[in-house]
Amino acid sequence: MSTSESALPAQEQARLVEESKRLAAFQAVKDHLLPSYTKIGIGSGSTVVYVVDAIAALGPAITKSMTFYPTGAQSEELIEAAGLNLAYISKLPSGTQLDVAFDGADEVDDDLNLIKGGGACLWQEKIVAAAAKKFVCVADFRKLSPRLGTAWKKGIPIEVLPMAAPRVLDALKQMGSHGARIRPGLPGKAGAIVTDNGMWIIDAPFAPLLLPKDSEKGLHAENESSGVWTVDALADRLIKLPGVAEIGLFYGQSGLEVASGAQKPVAAYF
């Protein structure tokens, strides 16, 4: 958020953010949901609510031939509440791909790598994204940054088997993550948050993650415990930790589409 945006009263800032999510979502659906598509992935989070609104607004004449595949309980409810056809990725015949998947993100870097999992749905989100021919990430203006870890400071969400959590935390400390912690339950719920898959989430902050172009500027990851990592090296290391089910780093994307709208909403895709 720029200085001028952050100087706005809180209520106006919140309105601006919601309007940006809505604009980005409607633009993304307009640009990337072709009437010929029959299988569509639907992600999780507050931005995706607008994506489903935009799809429902197309009307049954267009959507009746489409089936929507959720990334968890929230997105399943959204699809059903909008009266859209619901099906599950587990029932998708092998070798069949979704035409497109729409989802939000917590942060998007210059190379369109993403941090996801702020809503604890990252595992199913990654499965649905990987099953799609095209992944459209819908993100408002707050989410773009040069390097992951700049805008989203809560840490990289990591889905873990509960019994492995203490050892994963130890490993993260050795890797230079300061303040990694088990995500608490939602307000009013004691203990850790439990994902749709019965797992816990660890949020692991790292120094902003370097991109290949950073080496030309003389910026390099030093050693493991320095906490300075490139996106790919960190993703590679995290996913191999015993007890880690999935990580909220989505990397290797390309292409960026800027949706129209006064408040710089963006729709990124790979």
Task: Report, as residue numbers or ranges, the catalytic residues.
Answer: 125
Q: Which is nearer to ligand 5RP, 117 or 176 (CB)?
A: 117
| Paired tokens of 214 | 């950073």
- Give me the 86-115 binding string for ligand 5RP, x by CB under 6 A, dash otherwise: -----------------xxxx---------
Closest CA to 102 of 39, 16, 151: 39
Q: How far apart are CA 6 and CA 126, in angstroms?
A: 32
Contact 24, 138 (CB under 8 A): yes
Buried b (16+ CB within 10 A) or exposed e, 229-262: bbbbebbeebeebebbbbbbbbbebeebeebebe
Which of 119, 208, 243, 265 is the binder for ligand 5RP (CB under 6 A)? 119
**Binders of ligand 5RP: how many residues, by CB under 6 A?**
17
* CB of residue 45 to ligand 5RP, shortest distance in Å: 3
> Quick one: 123 or 229, whose CB is closer to ligand 5RP?
123
CB 79 within 8 A of CB 52: yes
Residue number with CB closer to ligand 5RP (139 or 221)? 139
Judged by beta carbon, residue 106 or residue 109, the one nearer ligand 5RP is 106
Query: Which of residues 41, 45, 155, 243 is near ligand 5RP by CB under 6 A?
Result: 45
Q: Closer CB to ligand 5RP, residue 39 or residue 143?
A: 143
Phi, psi of 214 (to 5 degrees): -65, -25
Query: Can you read off the two tokens belonging to residue 8?
Result: 């706005």
Contacting ligand 5RP (CB under 6 A), which of 5, 19, 37, 46?
46
Q: Which of 22, 32, 39, 116 binds ligand 5RP (CB under 6 A)?
A: 116
114-115, strands of its sheet edge to edge: 107-108, 114-115, 249-250
Rule CB under 6 A: is residue 246 a binding residue for ligand 5RP?
no
Contacts of 185 (CB under 8 A, 6+ apart): 191, 192, 193, 194
* Residues making contact with ligand 5RP (CB under 6 A): 43-47, 103-106, 116-122, 125
